[in-house]
Amino acid sequence: MLKINKLHKSYPIGDSSLHVLKGIDLSVEEGEMVAIMGSSGSGKSTLLNIIGMLDEADEGEYILDNVPIKDLTEKKAAIYRNKFLGFIFQSFNLINYKNALDNVALPLYYQGLKRKERIETALFHLEKVGLKDWAHHLPKELSGGQKQRVAIARALAANPKLLLADEPTGALDTKTSHEIMAFIQSLNDEGKTILMVTHEEDIASMCKRIVRLKDGVIMEDAFVEQVRASEYV
């Protein structure tokens, strides 16, 4: 599903440069639910961004669904992102002037689908996250948990191979976090591959595998007993 070999990334800081990722090897199979953990500056977000094609590696190999991801033009990266990846962000990143339905339908617009199909698919996914009745509300009229669920529906809309979540519960209270995690777990139960960055141990423990990063290298990579979020809800 996803294979990474000897990935390096550094950022220029003035005259010198900061070596953020120092040779990462990681492979993820279909249906896995992986948490990438680490303190801030460990390189976990950078790794996720490279996997998400939002950023490019300096060195190393990255293969996603048997497609080598390298030398991407902007246009190609856009197509790959649209086809392979669904993003869930800490700050939701909904477009504030579009209602929930239009937000969910946006990736489908960039897939070139007809409006009728877009609306149908978007409604289907909104229903899945339990927000069908909120389809015509603007983001500002939704609670944090609802916004994140709209964002999840949007990430699912294009039927991506891989769901990437960057601190998906970072902006939510504990109760809502558990609701969101329960939902993400149910997606994984249905077979979606999920990769998430978090620094919260209890959130990480709800995944099936934890990869710990420190100073740009993988310190630990272990499969864990998954804690079901529904226990808390």
Q: Which residues bind other proteins (CB under 8 A)?
A: 49, 52, 54-55, 74-75, 78-79, 81-83, 87, 89-91, 93-95, 97-98, 102, 106-107, 109-111, 115, 154, 158
Position of tokens 């392979």?
Answer: 84
Closest by CA to 174, choosing from 196, 200, 149, is 200
Residue 28, beta-bridge partner list: 2
Q: Which is nearer to other proteins, 139 or 209 (CB)?
A: 139
Q: Which is nearer to other proteins, 76 or 189 (CB)?
A: 76
To the nearest whole angstrom, how small is the minimum distance from the Cβ of residue 202 to other proteins?
22
To the nearest whole angstrom, how small is the minimum distance from the Cβ of residue 56 to other proteins?
8
To the nearest whole angstrom, how small is the minimum distance from the Cβ of residue 97 to other proteins?
3
Q: Which is nearer to other proteins, 37 or 106 (CB)?
A: 106
Q: Which is nearer to other proteins, 34 or 94 (CB)?
A: 94
Contact status, residue 128 vs residue 66, Cβ threshold 8 Å? no
Structure tokens at 135: 């389809």
CA gyration radius, the chain: 18
Closest by CA to 58, choosing from 19, 109, 30, 105, is 19
To the nearest whole angstrom, how small is the minimum distance from the Cβ of residue 170 to other proteins?
9
Please give the backbone phi and psi of residue 149, each rounded to the nearest 5 degrees, phi first: -70, -35
To the nearest whole angstrom, how small is the minimum distance from the Cβ of residue 160 to other proteins?
10
DSSP assignment of 89-151: -TT----TTS-HHHHHHHHHHHHT--HHHHHHHHHHHHHHTT-GGGTT--GGGS-HHHHHHHH
To the nearest whole angstrom, how small is the minimum distance from the Cβ of residue 233 to other proteins?
27
Q: Which is nearer to other proteins, 139 or 145 (CB)?
A: 139
Integer CA distances (angstroms), 229 to 165, 194, 197, in order = 16, 15, 17
Q: Which is nearer to other proteins, 107 or 216 (CB)?
A: 107
Q: Which is nearer to other proteins, 69 or 94 (CB)?
A: 94
Position of tokens 């339908």?
Answer: 105
Distance from C-alpha of 46 to C-alpha of 35, rounded to nearest angstrom: 14
To the nearest whole angstrom, how small is the minimum distance from the Cβ of residue 167 to other proteins?
9
